[in-house]
């Protein structure tokens, strides 16, 4: 399959997030819990997400994932409990808008990694996924996920 990757400049983006270690088989439950807790807090403080929710993957060890789950917000907002005030750092990035089931993304990751190397770029080691819809809203074949690799 041929992929069209896009290079763009990511401005620093404030977020509210929860960072956690988990296994891939528990990931969807952890994401759901984190998004629920953060949305409840945002409602309490009268804020709304600025963009689609995300998960940042700091490693790809499927039995011990280091992930940050959250929402971009319009301004820095103090965290509470497990919820952190954080930010997605400014950087040059490569992205791809993937349509389909989550378990079908591995070929995209492989192609992106290869393309990045072929172009002479170096990834930071973090991968972001932005979720524009969810399996609760649409069939798996209609899921839209933006995959982003920040570059050094």
**Which backbone phi and psi does 104 adopt, to 5 degrees?**
-105, 10
pLDDT tens-digit readout, 100-123: 999 999 999 999 999 999 999 999
Length of the chain: 152
Q: Which helix (H) or strand (E) holds 37?
A: helix 27-44
pLDDT tens-digit readout, 57-92: 999 898 999 999 999 999 999 999 999 999 999 999
> May I ask the CATH class of domain 6-151?
alpha beta
The residue ranges of every structural domain in the chain are 6-151
CA dist 72 and 53 (Å) reads 7
Partnered with residue 91 across adjacent β-strands are 10
Task: Please state the pTM of the whole predicted model.
Answer: 0.94
| The token pair that represents 49 in the structure block | 């997400």
Q: What is residue 71's predicted lDDT score, i.e. its pLDDT?
A: 98
Does residue 57 sit in helix, strand or coil?
A: strand
CB 63 within 8 A of CB 56: no
Grade residue 1 by pLDDT with cuts at 50, 70 and 90: confident
Q: What is residue 114's predicted lDDT score, i.e. its pLDDT?
A: 96
CA dist 112 and 140 (Å) reads 22
CA dist 61 and 75 (Å) reads 32
């Amino acid at each position: 399959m041929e992929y069209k990757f896009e290079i763009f400049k990511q401005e620093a983006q404030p977020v509210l997030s929860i960072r956690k270690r988990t296994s891939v088989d528990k990931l969807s439950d952890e994401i759901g819990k984190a998004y629920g807790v953060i949305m409840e807090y945002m409602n309490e403080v009268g804020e709304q997400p600025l963009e689609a929710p995300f998960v940042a993957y700091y490693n790809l060890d499927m039995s011990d994932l280091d992930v940050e789950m959250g929402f971009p917000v319009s301004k820095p907002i103090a965290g509470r409990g497990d919820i952190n005030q954080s930010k997605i750092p400014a950087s040059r990035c490569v992205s791809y808008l993937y349509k389909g089931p989550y378990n079908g993304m591995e070929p995209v990751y492989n192609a992106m990694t290869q393309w990045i190397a072929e172009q002479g770029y170096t990834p930071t080691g973090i991968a972001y996924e932005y979720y524009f819809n969810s399996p609760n809203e649409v069939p798996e074949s209609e899921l839209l996920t933006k995959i982003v690799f920040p570059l050094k």
